[in-house]
Amino acid sequence: MIIVTGGAGFIGANIVKGLNDSGRDDVIVVDNLEKGEKFLNLIDLEIADYIDKRAFIDMINGGEFNGELDTIFHLGACSDTMEYNGLYMMSNNYDYSKTLLHFCQQNRASFIYASSASVYGTGPVFRESSEFESPLNVYAYSKFQFDKYVRRMYGDRSAQIVGLRYFNVYGDREQHKGHMASVAFHFSKQYQEVGYVKLFEGIDGYENGAQLRDFVSVEDVVDLNLFLLKHPDISGIFNVGTGRCQSFNDVAVASINRCRREQGEDALDLSTLQQKNIIRYIDFPEALKGKYQNFTEADISALRAAGYTKDFLTVEEGVSRYVGRLIEKSMSS
C-alpha cells in the first residue's frame, strides 16, 4: 500500500494520477480539506481511502499502519512562502515530516518527500551541499532544517529516503493554489480574460521580465517519482529541475502563443508582444525585495549520477502543453 500526504494538492494529486496510470489504486490520500476546492483534484482518481491529516497522525502514532505500507510520498506541507507564522510552519512542515520519516524507518518503508529549491536562497550555486544553502524565509527554513535532520540520520537508514528539492513546478491540478499557482497558470488566465499579461519589472540588474528560474513541468516530476518508486536502492537529496534556467518572459511568450494558437492566431515573438502591450510590466513589490530569487538553475548532476536519464521538458514544450490542457478543460466545463 502507498500513502500520499498532501494527496489532494498540486504535486500530490498528480502523483496519485501517475500511480493510477501505472496500475496502482492501493493508494491512501492524506490531506486537509478545510480548503474545500482541493476535492476537485481527486474526482477522477482511484484511491483506497481518504484520511484527514490530523486523524492520520493519531493513526501513525497508534501503530495502525505498521507492516502495511511500502511507500509514503510526503507532499503534505504549507508551501506559502509569504506565511510568517514560524510556530505553525515548523509544526506543519518539520515535526510532521520527522514523525513520518521515523515511521517509515521503523517499518522499512520508502520515504520520498518534498523539499524545496528555496533552501538555496539567492544562490548563485544550486547544488545539494550545505555551503550553498541559505534560506530567506521560514518556509524555506522548515525545509532546510528537515533536510539537515535527514542528513544526520542518513547513514543509519533502514529503507529508501529521498528528498526532492523542487524548483518552479507548473502544471495540472494547481488551480486551488491562488497566488501560489505557477506563472504559467496566471499568464494564461490573464491573457484569456483581459488580452494581456503582467510581469514584474526588472530589479537587481535584470531587465523587465528577464529574471531567470528553472521551470519544471509536473509531468516530469511525476515521472521522476515513479522512477524512484521502482528503484528503492536509490536514496539521497536531489534537485528537481530541468538544469537550465529560462526567463519569465519565456513563460509569458509560451503561454500567450498557445492561447493565440487555440484562437487561430499567429505566434508572436517577445519584442512584438511588448510593442503591442500584450506583455506589460508592473512595479516590483516592496515586500519581496531582498527575499526574491532572481535566478535559479538546478544542478542535476547528482540526479543523473543516481541513474535518472530522462530529458526534461523545456518551457516552450511543457508550458504550451499545459496551457493547451487548461484551455481544453475550460471549454468543456
> Catalytic amino acids?
139, 177
Query: How far, rounded to the nearest angstrom, does the alpha carbon of residue 137 sit from its chain's CA centroid?
Result: 17
**Whole-Å CA distances, 66 to 158, 223, 230, 296:** 15, 28, 22, 40
Which uninterrupted H or E stretch holds 237? strand 236-240
> 2: helix, coil or strand?
strand
Q: Which of 147, 148, 138 is nearest to 166 (CA)?
A: 147
Q: State the CB neighbour count (10 A cutoff) for residue 19.
A: 25
DSSP type of residue 176: G
Give CA torsion, residues 154, 159, 164, 170, to 10 deg: -170
